[in-house]
Structure 1
Amino acid sequence: MSRLDRLRMGKVETRHFQQFNELLRYVFQVTKKELQMVGWEEREIALAKLPVLEKADVLGWFDGEKLISQLAVYPFQVNIFGRTFEMGGLTGVGTYPEYSGLGLMNKLMRQALLDMQQRKQSISYLFPYSFPFYRRKGWEIISDKMTFEIRDFQLPKIRKVPGYVERLDTEHPDVRTVYRHFSSMRHAAMIRNELAWDEYWRWDLDDLTAAVYYDDSHQPVGYLLYWISTDVLHVKEMVYINQEARIGLWNFISAHFSMVSKVVGNTYTNDPLAFWLDDGEIKETIAPYYMARIVDVKQFIAQYPFKALGIEIHLTFELDDPILEWNQGVFTLHVSESGQGQLIQSEGMADFSLDIQTLTTMLLGYKRPSYLADIGRLASNKQTVEILENLIERETPYFSDYF
């Protein structure tokens, strides 16, 4: 019997937990010492990943009883231009090196995507350890992460606002109330269920604090998640429903002027802090963050909110997908006067052609049709590009979660 004949694909269950954890630790080269340096004990390290097996759909390859390759899919939801989509969150991807080159991960991913299709998870998100690898599998960049560093003397001057800030425990219900409102307004954001919140907090230390901004009606309308270490205020996330809350939260940060030498943190929008601050000569960097891929293009289009142009639109396009045959071929897109889309298999001349990666980033608004056409990712004439520009809402994707 050859080695390939010994291998079988199957569900990874809680009884496989030790093997699951060992494979993750080996693939990502996370040592016990590194995790303990940030305050994690061995038992906590192990238990942190147990929810993956309990709440996710985990697939693996087994050589006899030995787990040799795996991936997990979390059941999540995201807001896409105001509509709730079921999303399969891909994580825990890895194969032992001695089993590489056998096409195991390709088959695992195809099966995981087939399972997502059957669960009506028409889109999948992931945090990439390799952009080229996941691009070859059909995922594409859809969001950015900005980091900033502001010296104490560059902090904004305190401005009068009618509300106030309270420091609270991160588990305070007002934090979730603010985020629920915020995520309903922000395109591409995670709609956090209990599992998503658990993942959001998973690797945070105990000294994380929430500062919640309340307006003059005592309603929570913004929060700051932060910690202070060695004279540095670290911002995990700042969420605000309106500009009053934004100013109020920055007032709170600026009140630490005598306590910290600088403020560092992350933002997930295309709103550079440098322009907003009086002293804009700060350090800001931008890097791609999350990737996504459309799982089932017909399901996705049926849910997707195109802009209502008041006229019916009919476009035929050719689509390529490196893994999924149901996303391959020629399709005709019908968009009603009210923006309702429908996709049917078609024949004949295509108005444009592209791959699933390009379609994903275009429909999520990370890159516009005109830009994609300019760089050769979208093969189309100018008239069709203009129609696509008019059909797709203009809003930058926001995603601040990690799983």
Structure 2
Amino acid sequence: MMDKDNNIRQQLHIKSVPVADVDQFNDLLRYVFQVTNQDLLESGYEEGELVRAKQPILEKSDVIGWYNQTQLVSQLAIYPCEVNIHGKVFKMAGLTGVGTYPEYAGHGLMHDLVKVGLEKMRDNQQWISYLYPYSIPFYRKKGWEIMSDHLTFDLRDTQLPKPVPVTGHVARKEIDDFDVLDTYDRFAHQTHGAMIRDQLAWDEYWRWENEEERTAAVYYDENQVATGYVIYWIAEEVFHLKEMIYLNQEARVGLWNFISAHYSMVEHVKGHIYKDEPIAFLMDAGDIKETIEPYYMARIVDVKDFLKAYPFENITEDISFEVTDPMAAWNNGLFHIHVNRDGKLSINQTSANGYVVKVDIQTLTAMLMSYRRPSYLASIERLQASKNAIKYLENIIPIETPYFSDYF
């Protein structure tokens, strides 16, 4: 088996994928993920449009692949993104476009691509990476961990909330209206986990959606300031809610007033929530069908630099993390955080003082992203620390759980 692997790998070479190979990049994507021409038509694409749409992404991203002479046989892409982590904007590496033709599978090609990808992320000072997992176990082995959930709900027309008076109003807008983009930007800058969307991120947000059939309803407060929106479409007596964001509860109520006004037109409202906020708790009707499942995964790319930049709360005492990482050797070892008299942090990797926490890179990521709390992770034996260390972690790691509604 080893000889077979060596023979195949000797025929291959790894390099950056140039923009000129955009056709091969898309052919591999479509083959691996079984995207048909019908899928593209239903998403609003015309012949050849997907290739043209992906070309700017290849120009802006790091795309790495294995080649058999001139044929691209395995690939991954790293999108340059930004996300809000507990109020601080981080550069984020969006890992996507991962795929290998089946005849080249099982030879460790993707393992090597991920290692090279992590090195590129580190060089680009992208201290954290997100991805959509087509296999959670596969990416866990590579150091990623679940960081957000996706909740779907189904409301019958009889379960829609009764209108509640608000001082503002709702106006229907195009999905690329300035108030839609600006409202999301303000929301993202105050919401942990959220993508800071540039044009590349917005393009990916709509990649598999038929934009022409989507509408935005924007809530304006009494001062005519946009404070929330819902993106939706109506088909076959179903109100489909793609995303609802709001900056305050007044906007949430106003948007649900708007949705409820469709009660005579629809039999169901089906939608998505990207945070741990079960809709049944907010509604008069409690027997609402809801389904929750993992959505995105994340991994810390460089522990030392991520810890330096991380916005700890009330950190006054030293703490050390002993980390293991299956892919990034620079993350293996000790990271001691020292707090000086002025409250400034420094990190050394020579000696442990204060509290000590033993943890793998997956668990450290889930904990610092606040997807799961330290006490819970300790209870399931995903980390090792004293009771006092766990209590200290609970105090210094912000509580807000991540919101992430994008897809790439």
Are residues 1:402 and 2:407 paired?
Answer: yes
- Deviation of 1:336 (Å): 5.3
Partner Cα distance (1:176, 1:64) in 2? 44
- Deviation of 1:27 (Å): 1.1
Letter of the structure 2 residue corresponding to residue 219 of structure 1? V
SS at 1:156 equivalent: coil
- The structure 2 residue matched to 1:89, chosen from 82, 85, 94, is 94
Show the 5 A alignment for 1:28-47: 28-47=33-52
Query: Which consecutive unaligned segments of at least 5 residues does structure 2 have?
Result: 1-5
Show the 5 A alignment for 1:115-194: 115-194=120-199
Q: Encode CA deviations 1:95-121: one digit per residue, 9 max, x unaligned.
A: 111112221111111111111111110
Show the 5 A alignment for 1:372-383: 372-383=377-388
SS at 2:213 equivalent: coil
Partner Cα distance (2:189, 2:319) in 1? 30
Are residues 1:198 and 2:203 paired?
Answer: yes
Are residues 1:329 and 2:333 paired?
Answer: yes
Are residues 1:63 and 2:62 paired?
Answer: no
For this pair of structures, how many residues does the alignment match?
A: 401
When residues 340 and 293 of structure 1 are mapped into structure 2, their CA distance, relative to the original with a 3 A threshold, is farther
Q: Encode CA deviations 1:284-324: one digit per residue, 9 max, x unaligned.
A: 11111000000001110111010025xx3112231100011
**TM-score normalised over the length of structure 2:** 0.95
Letter of the structure 1 residue corresponding to residue 338 of structure 2? H
Partner Cα distance (2:266, 2:49) in 1? 31
Partner Cα distance (2:362, 2:407) in 1? 21
Q: State whether residues 163 and 214 of structure 1, in contact with CA within 8 Å, keep that contact through their aligned partners in structure 2.
A: yes
- The structure 1 residue matched to 2:21, chosen from 16, 25, 36, is 16
- The structure 2 residue matched to 1:233, chosen from 229, 239, 253, is 239
Q: State whether residues 12 and 69 of structure 2, in contact with CA within 8 Å, keep that contact through their aligned partners in structure 1.
A: yes
- The structure 1 residue matched to 2:369, chosen from 357, 364, 367, is 364
Q: Which residue of 2 aligns with 1:314?
A: 318
Deviates more, 1:11-20 or 1:167-176: 11-20
SS at 2:362 equivalent: helix
Q: Encode CA deviations 1:174-206: one digit per residue, 9 max, x unaligned.
A: 001111111111101001111111111222211
- The structure 2 residue matched to 1:302, chosen from 303, 308, 316, is 308
Deviates more, 1:350-359 or 1:110-119: 350-359
Partner Cα distance (1:400, 1:346) in 2? 40
- Deviation of 1:334 (Å): 2.3
- The structure 2 residue matched to 1:248, chosen from 251, 254, 272, is 254
Q: Which residue of 1 aligns with 2:397?
A: 392
Letter of the structure 2 residue corresponding to residue 319 of structure 1? V
Are residues 1:265 and 2:271 paired?
Answer: yes
Letter of the structure 2 residue corresponding to residue 244 of structure 1? E
Partner Cα distance (1:393, 1:327) in 2? 23
SS at 1:46 equivalent: helix
Partner Cα distance (1:326, 1:38) in 2? 42
Partner Cα distance (2:343, 2:131) in 1? 28
Letter of the structure 2 residue corresponding to residue 291 of structure 1? M
Letter of the structure 1 residue corresponding to residue 30 of structure 2? R
Q: State whether residues 304 and 341 of structure 1, in contact with CA within 8 Å, keep that contact through their aligned partners in structure 2.
A: no
- Deviation of 1:381 (Å): 1.5
- Deviation of 1:335 (Å): 4.0
- Deviation of 1:166 (Å): 0.4
**TM-score normalised over the length of structure 1:** 0.96
- Deviation of 1:17 (Å): 1.4
SS at 1:78 equivalent: strand
Deviates more, 1:38-47 or 1:238-247: 38-47
When residues 154 and 332 of structure 1 are mapped into structure 2, their CA distance, relative to the original with a 3 A threshold, is same
Identity of aligned residues (%): 54
- Deviation of 1:344 (Å): 1.6
Q: Which residue of 2 aligns with 1:222?
A: 228
- Deviation of 1:62 (Å): 0.5
Q: State whether residues 336 and 352 of structure 2, in contact with CA within 8 Å, keep that contact through their aligned partners in structure 1.
A: no
- Deviation of 1:37 (Å): 4.3
Deviates more, 1:226-235 or 1:273-282: 273-282
Q: Which residue of 2 aligns with 1:279?
A: 285
Q: Which residue of 2 aligns with 1:51?
A: 56
- Deviation of 1:352 (Å): 2.1
Partner Cα distance (1:106, 1:129) in 2? 16
SS at 1:148 equivalent: strand
Q: State whether residues 180 and 218 of structure 2, in contact with CA within 8 Å, keep that contact through their aligned partners in structure 1.
A: yes
Letter of the structure 1 residue corresponding to residue 251 of structure 2? A
Q: State whether residues 308 and 337 of structure 1, in contact with CA within 8 Å, keep that contact through their aligned partners in structure 2.
A: no
Query: Which consecutive unaligned segments of at least 5 residues does structure 1 have?
Result: none
Partner Cα distance (1:272, 1:399) in 2? 15
Letter of the structure 2 residue corresponding to residue 302 of structure 1? K
- Deviation of 1:390 (Å): 0.8
Letter of the structure 2 residue corresponding to residue 286 of structure 1? I
Q: RMSD of aligned C-alpha atoms?
A: 1.6
Q: Encode CA deviations 1:41-60: one digit per residue, 9 max, x unaligned.
A: 44234334333322211010
Letter of the structure 2 residue corresponding to residue 214 of structure 1? Y
Q: Encode CA deviations 1:150-169: one digit per residue, 9 max, x unaligned.
A: 00010000111000010010
Q: State whether residues 74 and 89 of structure 1, in contact with CA within 8 Å, keep that contact through their aligned partners in structure 2.
A: yes
When residues 233 and 63 of structure 1 are mapped into structure 2, their CA distance, relative to the original with a 3 A threshold, is same
Q: State whether residues 306 and 339 of structure 1, in contact with CA within 8 Å, keep that contact through their aligned partners in structure 2.
A: no
SS at 1:29 equivalent: coil
